[in-house]
């Protein structure tokens, strides 16, 4: 489920839990020009899967600022490294100008070009 943490004049922080931001009605985020927001999705790069933009959104409306992967704590309670640790991908975008744009992210292995993504997430951004 989409959860709002903060909406400030220059920063809108949007955290999205992986499975909860599921297929269904596309959710719309309404922003003012220059606002920055983040989309956070559960991921596990140790499996080869990563979130990728399915299509670059209209750069006149919204642009990608950064994309970072943050692994979960890599040590177990015994202090030894955990195998196959997952994490989160944090996508930071900025609202550029008035209009609407779709952000579509696919969770897939980059080398599996002809295979359907394991997950797809979509978010419509409206900049006023």
* pLDDT score, position 23: 53
Number of domains the chain contains: 1
The pLDDT of residue 24 is 57
CA 22, 23, 24, 28: dihedral to nearest 10 degrees?
70
pLDDT of residue 8: 34
The CATH number assigned to the domain holding 109 equals: 2.60.40.2020
How much is the pTM? 0.77
pLDDT < 50: residue spans in the chain:
1-22
Contact at 8 Å (CB) between 121 and 65? no
DSSP 18-84: TTTS-SSSPEEEEE-TT-EEEEEEEE-GGGT-EEEEEE---TTTEEEEEEEEEEPP-B-TTSSBPTT
Alpha carbons 35 and 26: distance in angstroms, whole number: 20
pLDDT (tens digit per residue) in 98-124? 999 999 999 999 999 999 999 999 999
Domain extent, residue 71, equals 2-127
């Amino acid at each position: 489920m989409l959860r709002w943490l903060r909406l400030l004049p220059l920063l809108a922080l949007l955290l999205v839990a992986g499975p909860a931001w599921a297929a269904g009605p596309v959710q719309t985020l309404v922003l003012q020009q220059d606002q920055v927001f983040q989309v956070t999705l559960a991921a596990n790069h140790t499996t080869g899967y990563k979130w990728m933009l399915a299509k670059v959104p209209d750069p006149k409306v919204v642009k990608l600022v950064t994309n970072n992967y943050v692994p979960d704590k890599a040590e177990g309670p015994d202090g030894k490294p955990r195998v196959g640790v997952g994490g989160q991908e944090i996508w930071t975008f900025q609202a550029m100008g008035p209009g609407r744009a779709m952000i579509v992210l696919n969770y897939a292995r980059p080398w599996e070009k002809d295979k359907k993504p394991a997950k797809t997430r979509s978010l419509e951004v409206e900049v006023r």
